[in-house]
Chain A
Amino acid sequence: ETGVTQTPRHLVMGMTNKKSLKCEQHLGHNAMYWYKQSAKKPLELMFVYSLEERVENNSVPSRFSPECPNSSHLFLHLHTLQPEDSALYLCASSLEPGGTEAFFGQGTRLTVV
């Protein structure tokens, strides 16, 4: 148990669907992240939030839309995805952005059909 909880664990969605991934942490951390993990590729940082403000967006397509309503919750809203978006989406949190230890959730395995 790392203290970071992601739901759902698995998600299958069609290209015209809209869904959301949820991440929750109660570690008192100020920074939260979304990563994309694809086979044989480095972990890709998608979004970073620090104190509920987005501090980095690594040229992620607009079909991925993050939301951080408070320091404990992070969402990733998905719409009109492509099959190549199928991957494991990992949420992480840390006390401060970067540098310090990041705690990861178990991930959401997303399959776009």
Chain B
Amino acid sequence: GDSVTQMEGPVTLSEEAFLTINCTYTATGYPSLFWYVQYPGEGLQLLLKATKADDKGSNKGFEATYRKETTSFHLEKGSVQVSDSAVYFCALSEGSGGYQKVTFGTGTKLQVIP
């Protein structure tokens, strides 16, 4: 079945550091890929997505490129802020017949210190 593997956290960075959170996936077809973010005490919010190979999703300074050859969708940001501290979830969506199933990773906690 489909699966998503994320790097284990927590990841601790100083403000303005470069961020990479790795995500790889296994899927039978051509899934859509997502990054969700969960701030403390909140539900998940969609951060960015990509629907086909070589697409780049971007939002709020975060980027991720859909790499079919390496089955990866790594999240990057050039300069993190304290307000980026949260848990980040990689996810994929795949299916047919009018219904698509979403599979989430375990989440990676990011802590940004001033």
Contacts and interface: CB of A to CB of B under 8 A. Distances in A.
Interface of A: 2, 4, 6, 40-43, 45, 48, 50, 55-56, 90, 92, 97-99, 101-107
Given A45-B102, A56-B99, A99-B102, 14 more contacts: A4-B43, A6-B43, A40-B106, A42-B105, A43-B44, A43-B89, A43-B104, A48-B99, A92-B44, A97-B100, A98-B99, A103-B46, A106-B42, A107-B43
A106 B4 CA distance: 23
Interface string B1-30: 000100000000000000000000000000
Contacts of A42: 4, 103-107
Q: How large is the interface on B (under 10, 10 to 19, 20 to 34, 35 or more residues)?
A: 20 to 34
A98 B106 contact: no
Name B's interface SS.
strand
Contacts of B42: 106
B58 interface: no
B41 interface: yes
Interface of B: 4, 32, 36, 41-46, 49, 89, 91, 93, 95, 98-107
A99 B43 contact: no
Closest 5 CB pairs of A and B: A98-B100, A104-B43, A43-B104, A99-B100, A104-B44
B31 to A, nearest CB: 9
Nearest to B49: A101
B99 A106 contact: no
Contacts of B107: 42-43
Contacts of A92: 43-44
Most buried by B among A40, A43, A107: A43
